[in-house]
Amino acid sequence: MRTFIVNLINIFLFFSGFSAFSQEILTGLQFNPVIQKKAEELSRLKSSPSGSDTIPITLPFFDDFSANAVFPSTERWIDRYAFENTDFPVYPVNLGAVTLDAINDSGRMYSNAVPGPASFIADHLTSRYIRLDSVFSPIPRSINSADSVYLSFYYQPQGRGRPPQTSDSLILQFLVKQAHDSISPTDTIHIPDLWQKAWFAKGMALDTFYLQNNKYFRQVMIPITDPGFFKKKFRFRFFNYVSLASSAEPSWESNTDQWNLDNVYLNLGRNRFDTIYPEIRFIQRPPSMLQNYEEMPYPQYCDNPTNEIRDTIDILISNRDLDSHLSSYNYYVTAPGGTFSKTYNGGNYNIRNFYYNGYVDYQPFAHPPVSFLFPISSSDSASFLMKHIVKDINPGSVLGDTIQAWQKFYNYFAYDDGTPEESYGLTPAGSKLAYRFHLNKSPDTLRAVQMYFNRTLSNASQQWFYLCVWNDNAGVPGDTIYSDLVLPYYTDSLNKFITYHIYPPLRITGTFYVGWIQTTNDNLSIGFDRYNNSQSEVFYNTMGQWNNSFFAGSLLMRPVVGKPIPLSTGDIIPHRQSFELYPNPCMAAKVTIHIPENGNQGQVSAFTLLTVYNLFGQPVLKSGYTSNLDVSTLPGGIYFVVLTNASGMRLGVSKLIISR
């Protein structure tokens, strides 16, 4: 657990045409769904950052970004460009950090994020005004350079995101002079804020950063000595320079140049050796107690519970104080309503300081056993609250931490945690992706496959692909037992998956695989979770042979099994030959479209879109719905005619053969 090697390779294969390359590629996000959802929520509440700063805050200033609130707290910061999260930082000082990248406060790439060598300023993290002229406790007095004022923080390039290039940087500035208007008898000129650079770091990959520093986060100590800064309205800000690799394919362009910040601390009475902020904290989110999955269907768990539960779980705890602290560790697992309850008591242990001893390695704290089974039941689903608590047991101590999460048993298998840090794609056309899952209760019924696709610029990744299911052939995908031509879709809800229903439902046994066959070179941009690793279950085939994925992580792809599931928003229903085309094969200039009365006739309206795609998934003809389609401009070949409604939902698809 102490050593973490970031397995990212910078791919610079954006030459003309991807067809020359056969590979899997990771890219950054082009839209952040978490930020997007939070921004929309605050917009509805008409909430805005407290940018007026009418009342400056007083020392001390401290933020460890552990609230996981998406946007930094308005009690300390005036903008919302940085992203407060637990997903991107690798081994942070404590659970959570704030990330600066190329995505703005609405969850989209900045409008000036144009591919090319030139860098541009992206995110800002700007403090509120701070009273650096006075303190008011225990008695009011003024502050000056003799008070030894320091600003400290921890930083990390890349994390679980994309590495900043060496030409890019993270910069810290202090406010020298506020914006004001210069008024003359003939004109008024607005003078913007004047800033002074206090510190900067050049971009690099995390593995390089670790080799240079022997740590994943590096602390910076900045003394404030200039008398001009000891004023009523002191302010500082971080921002990052970003550059985007040029790409001939819009579907491969993405977020990049990510930096993580943690434990920003400003106070007086410090010195350059004052690097300690006493705390006992958890470092990572609560782990799943399942051996193979983050989540799984309850009947599948109940059929083989002993093999699905971990023997132990891994917990990271650090003591950031110089002194040791006698502490206790416990975890609690409960079901809603109190129908099930388990408690683990790790006893007491003297936790030594992190700086010389690293994370806690005491077995009952670091690797507590899971000495129970979740209850066996005939229910279709269940969920259990897992809570972990560590605390100093000395009277009066406030050092300690609590984390919690739900262990879910629903109707799907999931290796992922539901949040993408990057996008996964294959190239060229014809590439295959397969994700392996194992049944305990066999046979079972595959009802659907849930996928989370990241949006790309101009929705360039919305290309046709074949949703496929394979059986097993000695540990790799075997025969294709299901295939359906579908499109990637996106949802506006927070991390909501699109459900592709399997029709008719498919009988599966033992080990099975779900995935796709591509029709284009484009990045389908499925969500990729870097926090959890199911690399051994991901297979790709670009040259006629199945290989394990090169990348550590998990795809946001979940097979749904068991009993029939009700339809809901975001469900994609297969429509096989839902309308007829004649003549077909066609040698004429026009094709007649006939929708049977038992088909989707009632859903066709003036807003229905008719699109013709070639075998490569490229649209070659678009029009409003018509029962007589003019195909005189199309050369001979095989095509797909697709009807979609105004929301982009597919109403039907039929194959058309043109013979000239």
- The string of DSSP letters for 24-93 reads EEEE--SB-HHHHHHHHHHHHTT----TT--S-B-S-EEE--TT--BS--TTTBS---SEEESSS-SS-S
- Average pLDDT over every residue of 276-286: 96
Name residues whose C-beta falls within 8 Å of residue 299's C-beta, 6 or more positions apart in sequence. 380, 441, 562
pLDDT of res. 597: 65
CB 503 within 8 A of CB 483: no
User: pLDDT band at 439, cuts 50/70/90?
Assistant: very high
- Average pLDDT over every residue of 535-563: 96
pLDDT of res. 11: 29
Name residues whose C-beta falls within 8 Å of residue 286's C-beta, 6 or more positions apart in sequence. 386, 387, 388, 403, 404, 405
pLDDT of res. 144: 94
Instruction: Kindly report, residue by residue over 285-338, the tens digit of the pLDDT.
Output: 999 999 999 999 999 999 999 999 999 999 999 999 999 999 999 999 999 988
Instruction: Kindly report, residue by residue over 246-265, the tens digit of the pLDDT.
Output: 554 555 555 678 999 999 99
Q: Hey, where are the domains in the chain?
A: 56-277, 285-409, 422-572, 580-658
**How many residues in total does the chain contain?**
660
Using left for φ > 0, alpha for ψ between -120 and 50, and beta otherwise, residue 148 falls in left
The SS3 call for residue 210 is helix
Answer CATH for 580-658 from 1.10.1050.10, 2.60.40.10, 1.10.1200.10, 3.40.50.300:
2.60.40.10
CATH number of the 285-409 domain? 2.60.40
Question: Is the confidence at residue 551, as pLDDT, over 70?
Answer: yes
Confirm whether 285-409 and 580-658 share one CATH topology: yes
Instruction: Kindly report, residue by residue over 394-405, the tens digit of the pLDDT.
Output: 999 999 999 999
Q: What is the largest CA-CA distance in the chain?
A: 94
How far apart are alpha carbons 162 and 422 in whole angstroms? 8
As beta bridge partners, residue 197 has 173
User: pLDDT band at 186, cuts 50/70/90?
Assistant: confident
pLDDT of res. 570: 65
Q: DSSP code of 566?
A: -
Instruction: Kindly report, residue by residue over 94-152, the tens digit of the pLDDT.
Output: 999 999 998 999 988 888 777 667 789 999 999 999 999 999 988 999 999 999 999 99
Mean pLDDT of the chain: 88
Say if domain 422-572 classifies as CATH 2.60.120. yes
Question: Is the confidence at residue 611, as pLDDT, over 60?
Answer: yes
Tokens 């941009």 -> residue? 525
Question: Is the confidence at residue 504, as pLDDT, over 90?
Answer: no
CATH number of the 56-277 domain? 2.60.120.260
- Average pLDDT over every residue of 450-478: 85
